Amino acid sequence: MAKKYDPATAIQRIEQFGEFGGVNPSITDSATYTFLEEKTMIDAFHGETEGCFLYSRHWNPTNKYLSDVLAAMEGTESAWVTGSGMGAITTTLLQLCNTGDHIITSVTTYGGTYAFFANYLKKFNIEVSFVNITDLESVKKAIKPNTKVIYTETMTNPMLQISNIPELGKMAKENNIKLVVDNTFTPMIFSPAKLGADIVVYSMTKFINGKNDAVAGAICASTEFINDISNVNDGTAMLLGPVLDPLRSSSILKNIGTLHIRMQKHSENAMYIAKKFVEIGLKHNYPGLQDHPDHILMKSMMNEGFGFGGMIAIDLGTAEKATPFMEMMQERGVGYHAVSLGYFKTLFSNSGRSTSSEVPVEIQAEMGLSPGLIRFSVGLDHDIEASFQLVKSCLDDLKLL
């Protein structure tokens, strides 16, 4: 087991200054960059220069600042930022896989990721096996000679299962497979690269940025892999162009400095709410509680000091019960009936009809996704007891308890 990592301190130790000594790095919003000598430009196209910028679809100084901080947070050699979380996921997988290759993935995953695996990759004749990622034996049995990637989420969406990254990492290395882990739900709580993952991807739209004012993604990996995806000749990121705008990079870079404090508060509030759900007998799912099947596994992998995360799921049995409950919670000020997560306000949605709607209903049933499951992204409420009382009043008035 890898030694627990301190991502918050790793970020704090990075010093980045603006060109005039500003405590925030300067924003470079240039699309292209001048060269004093023709030879330097030629060398840049060949990847033979250091410290030179060619074109912002390839690299941008502001994006590099954010990438360096993300690499420090994850404990990887390098990172690259994208225009969305799906941009990070698709870039990574299309770089690793060719026609005829095979991917193993958790059947419980974000709906957009599921759709990419189940529907989009067919046009490239890339085969995908969907497994219960918590059943290591099923993962092992799914490995084929042409398997190139095992893909999972550290905490799966929306079932909140915990993937055993160390064991999956060992399995991957023994079979010359890359382990790719989406850590969107649990930044700082887990450091997948330290636990055995080869590549870590994020939707920075969520907790990392925390403001829901930007769509962005990240790929954290070895220098070799980052150089490969940004290669001007055959790099997936360079040729497909999912680059993040530098103005957004600058905004996210400033927000990431408070990520550790926000994760602590999200976790604190979610734990409070989860315990209250236990008290009132509501069917719930929270990995921070001992009744969660992966609680001990999570404790064995998580970094200290950031809690168990801000995500909770409850099950009301049917969508017909979930719908008026969510609408009433929004009316009474609990939070917003909206997709996404990691916002400072609590967000809630019926996963089967929203963020997992790309997953066929029969597959939802097989993976245990109830039609009445509501996913909560618990916010940064100061008076969390008052927030819980609002939730309970909705449950009581709708006679859902």
Task: Indicate whether 242 and 282 sit together in one domain.
Answer: no
Task: Indicate whether 242 and 301 sit together in one domain.
Answer: no
The CATH number that applies at residue 249 is 3.40.640.10
User: How do residues 85-108 score in pLDDT, each as one tens digit?
Assistant: 999 999 999 999 999 999 999 999
Residue 281 domain-assigned (yes or no): yes
Residue owning tokens 């997948």: 192
Task: Indicate whether 101 and 223 sit together in one domain.
Answer: yes
pLDDT at res. 6: 97
Query: With contact defined as beta carbons under 8 Å apart, do 307 and 368 qualify?
Result: no
Q: DSSP assignment, residue 356?
A: T
Residue owning tokens 């996704």: 369
Phi, psi of 300 (to 5 degrees): -70, -25
Question: What's the structural domain count of the chain?
Answer: 2
pLDDT at res. 215: 98
Q: Which residues of the chain have pLDDT under 50?
A: 1-2
Question: Which of 218, 233, 256 is the last residue before a domain boundary?
Answer: 256
The CATH number that applies at residue 331 is 3.90.1150.10
| Per-residue buried b or exposed e for 331-349, using 16+ beta carbons within 10 Å of the residue's own CB | eeebbbbbebbbbeebbbb
Task: Indicate whether 104 and 138 sit together in one domain.
Answer: yes
Question: Which of 256, 280, 300 is the last residue before a domain boundary?
Answer: 256
pTM of the model: 0.96
Q: DSSP assignment, residue 107?
A: S
Q: Which structural domain range is residue 279 located in?
A: 259-397
Greatest Cα-to-Cα distance within the chain, rounded to the nearest angstrom? 75
Question: Which of 239, 256, 273 is the last residue before a domain boundary?
Answer: 256
pLDDT at res. 3: 53
pLDDT at res. 178: 98
